[in-house]
Amino acid sequence: MLTINVAVLLTIIVILRFRRPVEPRTRADQLFGITVILVLGLLLAPTDFGHSVLSAVQQMVEGIAKAAT
């Protein structure tokens, strides 16, 4: 079974999203970018809150992965 660190996955998403050319973005696109970066920061933060967010995101990803199989 392949395992992926959620923080690494979010880092890849952030890099790919901000490599594209600068163009006017919608409010929803801006909100998505801010949310991804905020969650990435919380995952990387060595705090209890960061660890609880990491656990919640991991459970969500595992649930989605189980539903897809």
Per residue in 22-60, pLDDT tens?
A: 676 788 877 887 888 888 777 777 767 777 877 888 898
Q: Give the span between the Cα atoms of 54 and 26, in whole angstroms.
A: 28
Q: Is 62 exposed, middle or buried (0-12, 13-18, 19+ CB in 10 A)?
A: exposed
Taking the whole predicted model, whether its pTM rises above 0.75 is answered as no
Cα–Cα nearest to 43, from 61, 64, 58: 58
Q: Tell me the C-alpha distance between 29 and 6, whole Å.
A: 21
Cα→Cα distances 17→9, 10, 53, 65, Å: 12, 10, 22, 23
